[in-house]
Every structure is written in C-alpha cells, then in structure tokens.
A = this chain, B = another copy of it.
Amino acid sequence: MKLLVAKSAGFCFGVKRAMDMAREAARKHPERLHTLGPLIHNPQAVEYLENLGVKVKERIEDVPGGTVIFRSHGVSLQDLTKARKRRLRIIDATCPMVKRAQRFAKFLHRHGYALLIVGDADHPEVEAIRSYVDERVQVVRSVESARRLGPWEKLGVIAQTTQSSGIFTEIVASVLEKSKEIRVFNTICQATTVRQREAIDIAKKVDCMVVVGGYNSGNTQRLASICREIQPCTLHIETARELDPKKLANKGRIGLTAGASTPHWIIEEVEEEVRSLNQKR
C-alpha cells in the first residue's frame, strides 16, 4: 500500500495564529478566559484548549467577565459592541483573511452595491460578515439558488474564505447577465485554494481518500465533497478511531488530507493507523 499525504493538510495560517493566541492567553491570564463559540471547528483542539483553561461560551451574555477570545471565524458587530460595553478584555483571533472579507463587504455596501456572499448562511464566518452590512445581503451556496436571484443594478460578490473555487466561479457566472455591473472580490484564501487543488490531484491518483477534520468544519466537509466527486471511496473522519479497516482493505494507494482546523497530532495518528492497518493484513 502506498500512502500519499497532502503537504497542505492541516492548520492554515489563520487557525495556527488563533491557537497560538489562545495558548499564550492561557499562559498569561488563565482565570476567567473564554472563547465566544469554539475557537476553531475541531472538537479535539477545543478540548485541548479547555484543558489549558480556555472555556467555550456560546453567547457573549454568558461570558462572566474577564477575557473573551474572538474565534478565527470572526465576531458579529452586535457581539463586538456588547463585549466593549461590558468592558471585557478582548483578544481578537479573527483570521486576517476573514477580516479582509469583512472589509470588502463593508466597502461594497458603502459604495451602493447589493451584496452576494457565496457561502453557508449559518456558518459563523458568514453570520459575522453579514452583521456589518445588515441590508440587501444575500447568501447562496449553490448555482440553483443563485439563478433565482436578481436582477441588480450594481452587484458586489465575495466568498466565505474557505469556499470551493469551482462553486464560486459557477455562481458568479450564473449572475453575470443579471447585473449591469458586478464587482467581485475573490476572498477565498490562498490556503483553501492550494489545499483543494492538492486534494483533487491526490484523489485522482488513489483508490481511496481519507479526509480528516471536525464534522462541524465547513472547509473539511467541502474538501471531502470535492474529493468524493473524483473518488467515490472518500472517508471523512474526525480521529483515527473512526477509520474503518474494511473500507481500506485491498486499496493499493490511499490518499490523506485534512481541513484547515485539524491539528497535526490527529493527522499523524491517522497516518500511523492507516500504515498499521496495512501491516496487519
């Protein structure tokens, strides 16, 4: 069995930065330290942080004072205002690429563009972006939904930073005829594009693809879905324990990649497990 591991698997710049900031905070002032929602979409990484004293609160109202860390996906204007009013100490771990998308959303809104966000309406990143431009915002994640929208005079388009480039392109193409002007900021981050491209390359070469990452992680779900289109034998798992030996039996080549929020220790465990399953045969 040959195992092809993606070089781009695991933590992206923004996630690594958020984890470092949280660890540093735990070291400096571990008392009353909370993140607003999970810092990143990986239960194991969140558990690791909890052991360092970083607790999760879902609502800003439930943070009992002290320090609040804003998650990598960003924070809504409403929560930001509340945190300031309550004079919480703020550590902003919002990914700089997400901040950039927020800036473009505000810019487009300010300049009179109707805003279309290519992304998942219920993802915290998209919810946060929307909160800064409350009116005339539409969120779509499929060409079918996009086709039902418009027409517009001036349309601004951005993407959730971890969207699939393919879907983003298709959606822009589908609305192109329905607006006199379209201004597109491609806010899909480079790390996402590179990760998706490498996953596609590997998926084409293997008999089964293993994608590691939180079941609640949007970018991992999309990574698995992109791989599945090419290689129907694609397994999305969160940890090594969920590897099903039967599914990997008799596979000459196996591919391995992981979402942006998957810690390296989990990827390494999965890698070892795949290799050891193969030796047991």
User: A-side interface residues toward B, CB under 8 Å?
Assistant: 165, 168-170, 172-173, 176-177, 179-186, 193
User: How far is A183 from B180 in the complex, measured between Cα atoms in Å?
Assistant: 11
- CB-nearest residue of chain B relative to A155? B184
List of B residues within 8 angstroms of A169 by Cβ: 173, 176-177
Listed by A's residue number, 25 A-B pairs whose Cβ atoms lie within 8 Å are: A165-B177, A168-B176, A169-B173, A169-B176, A169-B177, A172-B172, A172-B173, A172-B176, A173-B173, A176-B184, A176-B186, A177-B186, A177-B193, A179-B186, A180-B185, A180-B186, A181-B183, A181-B184, A181-B185, A182-B182, A182-B183, A182-B184, A182-B186, A183-B184, A184-B184
List of B residues within 8 angstroms of A165 by Cβ: 177
7 additional contacts (CB under 8 A) given A165-B177, A182-B186? A169-B173, A169-B177, A172-B173, A176-B184, A177-B193, A181-B183, A181-B186
User: How far is A181 from B186 in the complex, measured between Cα atoms in Å?
Assistant: 6
User: How far is A168 from B178 in the complex, measured between Cα atoms in Å?
Assistant: 13
- CB-nearest residue of chain B relative to A182? B184
